[in-house]
Structures are given as C-alpha cells and as structure tokens.
Amino acid sequence: MRILLSKVTRLASLLLLLGLFSIQLSAIREVRGDYDISISHSSVTVTIHTVFNQNMTLQPTPAYNNTSLSGSNATSAETAFTSALSTLLPGVSASGLTITSSSASNTTQMTVKFNVDGAIITDRGVMKVNLAWRSFEVTSNITAGVIPLNSVGSYLDHSPVLNNNSTSFIAWRYFVDGKSIARDQSTVAASSFQLLDFSLLSAPLDSWHSAVNIAAGYGSTLTSSLNHNITVRQRLTEPGGDIITTTFFAGYSHKVQIAIPGPSRIMGDTILIDTGSFTWVMAVLVVLFPVIAVGAFFVERNVTRQRGAGRARRNRRK
C-alpha cells in the first residue's frame, strides 16, 4: 500500500511540475537569428545574432543586460574562437572580436562579430576565399565575470524533464536536432549544449541557394539555415483515454547568408572571385550610369517638347 501511495505521490508531483512548465509554453516563440558572412577584397567579416529560447527549466536563464566583451576583455574568448576556426582550417584566426549578450526570462540574445584572418589568397587576378571554417564550434565556455555566455547547458542539465523512464501513464521521447536519442543520453546532450555551435553548416557550399546580387556589383548571395535544439516530448494518457502531448525544448535557429562581391564560382569550400571581371563590371557601370542618366534626360525633354507643341497646335485650331 505504501509503495502504491509513494508512486501516486511521485506521479502527482510530476504532473504538478509539468503543469507549471506548461505555463511557460505560451511565452516561448521561435525567433530566427542571423549568421552573416561578408566578403570584401581584403577581409572576411562575420556577424552572428543568436536568439536562444528554452522552456525546459522552471528557473529562468540567468538574467543580465547588455553584458559585453571586447578589446583586452575578449582576449581569452578570441583565443577560443581562433582554436575553433583553425581546427577546421589551419592557419586562420579570429580578430576584432566583440560579444554582446542579454538574458531575461526564457530568452537569451547574443551578438558576435569578428574578422577571419588568413582565409583569403589572391593569385593572378583570382581571389580565393576558403570558408571551411564556417561550421565552427566553440566548445570552451566563454564568461563575462561569472555569467556563462556559451555553455548554457550548465543549467539545462538540471531540468526535471530529462532522463525520465516511461510509464503506463507518461511516455517520454528525446531528440537532438530532430534525431531521436536514448533517455540516458538526454542529460549529456543538455549539459553539453552550446550557443556557439554551428557544426550543422558543413553542407557543401554548392548545395546552398544562390542568387544574383546586383547591388554588390553583380555579385551573389549564398543562403542556408541552421536549427540547433534539444527537444523533449511528454505524452500523458489520461484515465479516460485522452492523450495530451507537451513539448519542451531549448534551442535556436539562424538564417545564414554569405555575401560575395563580383562574379564567382565555387570549388569545394572555396569561393573563387574573379577580381578582374569585378573591376571591369564596376568600371562599365560607372561609365554607363551617367550615359543612361543623360540619355533619359534628353528623351524626357524631347517628349515634353512634343507634348507642348501638340497642345499649341490644338489651341491655334480652336
């Protein structure tokens, strides 16, 4: 009897806990961040804005406002970024790193900006930009004082929705980036969750969507997307047979964009930009725009004169 009461008590406590969690669900909404790579003739600049949402913990994420790292305060963080980049492409490094982060309730926002040095080689009029580092992952924690900016898993792994056995009343399923994982792997997956994990961007560049960007001197834009999350689905079967499914998650998504100046082609992880063609196109545009503008002016003036002459002839007839 005591065993039965103990099980009922634990079940009631869990249901109450899940009820409290469900209150947070209405406050969670997916907001997509941005991961932008901008290529110029001498540098590569990366700007990443991440919006991390979670409803896996009753305790909100640590609250702070506009915490930032830059200059000498970002030295250790810059070293961590360089390590992550050079793991994928030896010889490159991060410079000019700035990080700004804010957190309130269930949402953390972080903006990262840095330059990637050593990724460009110019040879006989062709600029070769190696982007093999784009799917980098910073595995070390980055802190501002005592605040963890990267390793959000340090508080996710305390969530009571992790590592639960299924019963006849409640069934649990666990996923990382849409792939099912075992129950006993859920805590490990949560504890290792990082905000600076872009390893899912390793797909070949020629599989990305490409569009012409006339504003960039007849350059092009490559686009993709990234969704990184850990998801828990709890399925409750009520005595009457009704089924209630609740989803708990922690994660973020990005719209990814690479802006390429001038005509280009892709070879593996490298973008080849014909700087000679780019210069020629820009020169032609510089010459043509004034010519077109002057031509449009004279055409407009000629049309205006013809209209004026037509009105004058009609007036004389009257």
What is the amino acid identity at position 10?
Answer: R
In a domain, 149, yes or no: yes
The reported pLDDT for the residue numbered 288 is 43
The pLDDT-based confidence of 258 (bands split at 50, 70, 90) is very high
The reported pLDDT for the residue numbered 305 is 60
Average pLDDT over residues 87-112: 95
Listed ranges 19-33, 152-166, 170-184, 211-225; the one with the highest mean pLDDT: 170-184
Phi-psi region of 210 (alpha: psi -120 to 50; beta: other; left: phi over 0): beta
Listed ranges 68-77, 261-270, 271-280; the one with the highest mean pLDDT: 68-77
The tally of domains found in the chain comes to 1
In a domain, 14, yes or no: no
Query: Between 258 and 28, whose confidence is greater?
Result: 258
DSSP for 98-151, written as a single string: EEEEEEETTEEEEEEEEEEET-EEEETTEEEEE-GGGG-B--S--EETTEESS-
Is pLDDT at 22 greater than 80 in this prediction? no
The reported pLDDT for the residue numbered 286 is 45
In whole angstroms, give the CA distance from residue 316 to residue 318. 5
Is pLDDT at 15 greater than 80 in this prediction? no
The reported pLDDT for the residue numbered 315 is 55
Query: Between 291 and 66, whose confidence is greater?
Result: 66
In whole angstroms, give the CA distance from residue 183 to residue 15. 19
Query: Between 88 and 311, whose confidence is greater?
Result: 88
The pLDDT-based confidence of 255 (bands split at 50, 70, 90) is very high
The reported pLDDT for the residue numbered 8 is 43
Cβ atoms 244, 232 nearer than 8 A: no
The pLDDT-based confidence of 262 (bands split at 50, 70, 90) is confident
In a domain, 164, yes or no: no
Closest CA to 220 of 261, 163, 268: 261
In a domain, 88, yes or no: yes
Question: Quick one: tokens of 188?
Answer: 């490990």
Residues β-bridged to residue 38: 45, 259
Query: Between 10 and 49, whose confidence is greater?
Result: 49
The Cα-based distances of 98 to 42, 43, 72, 261 in angstroms read 20, 17, 10, 25
Q: Can you point out the beta strands (E) in the chain? A: 33-39, 44-54, 64-70, 93-104, 107-117, 120-123, 126-130, 143-144, 147-148, 170-176, 179-181, 209-213, 219-237, 243-260, 264-267, 270-274
The reported pLDDT for the residue numbered 282 is 46
Average pLDDT over residues 184-192: 95
The pLDDT-based confidence of 259 (bands split at 50, 70, 90) is very high
The reported pLDDT for the residue numbered 296 is 53
**Entry pTM:** 0.79
The reported pLDDT for the residue numbered 219 is 84
Backbone phi and psi for residue 229, each to the nearest 5 degrees, phi listed first: -160, 160
Q: Is the torsion defined by CA of 122, 127, 132, 137 positive or negative?
A: positive
In a domain, 131, yes or no: yes
Is pLDDT at 275 greater than 90 in this prediction? no
Average pLDDT over residues 161-187: 95
In a domain, 243, yes or no: no
Q: Which residue has the tokens 């030896």?
A: 90
Is pLDDT at 179 greater than 50 in this prediction? yes
In a domain, 299, yes or no: no
In a domain, 202, yes or no: yes
Q: Which domain holds residue 120?
A: 30-158+182-224+253-275
